[in-house]
Amino acid sequence: MIRRTGLLIVSALAVAASGCFGGGDGEVIVEEEQVFLDTYEPCEVTEQCVPSDLCLEITTDVDGRFVTDAICTHECFDDLDCPISVNGLGGACIDIGSGLFCYEGCIDDLDCPAGFACLDTFQASVCLPL
């Protein structure tokens, strides 16, 4: 089991995107089937996430090293509002600076997607950018 300790400062920010969709004067637009990212998957914009989620930008500071990435997630009231992830562990409803959101629970780094590590917060061990 890999655990990281030290000062952990985390902040989160919702990431949105805007875009234009064209069409007109004889132009044919073929719609492609939209494939959405599941809760806890890394994302770039909210439109990539399942409709109930948003793309939440997370910045971690572990001993002076800042790393930013984003995941699909949603607001929550408690851990019961957070789905079980592909690693088989329940999510954790925690506030790391932007309100209560679901984060992927973990035991070690192998439970987290690439670019994320299992970090201990004051409330739970969750996958955060590292």
**What pTM value is reported for the model?**
0.76
Q: Token pair for residue 106?
A: 């973990």
> Cβ distance 40 to 85 under 8 Å?
yes
pLDDT at position 21 is 45
Higher pLDDT, 10 or 119: 119
Answer whether residue 25 is part of any domain.
Answer: no
Answer whether residue 48 is part of any domain.
Answer: yes
pLDDT exceeds 90 at position 71: yes
Answer whether residue 85 is part of any domain.
Answer: yes
d(Cα 48, Cα 50) in Å, to the nearest integer? 7
Query: Total structural domains in the chain?
Result: 1
Question: What range defines the domain where residue 48 resides?
Answer: 8-16+36-129
pLDDT exceeds 90 at position 108: yes
Answer whether residue 28 is part of any domain.
Answer: no
Answer whether residue 43 is part of any domain.
Answer: yes
Least confident of 5-9, 51-55, 78-82: 5-9
pLDDT at position 102 is 97
Answer whether residue 30 is part of any domain.
Answer: no
Mean pLDDT of 8-34: 58
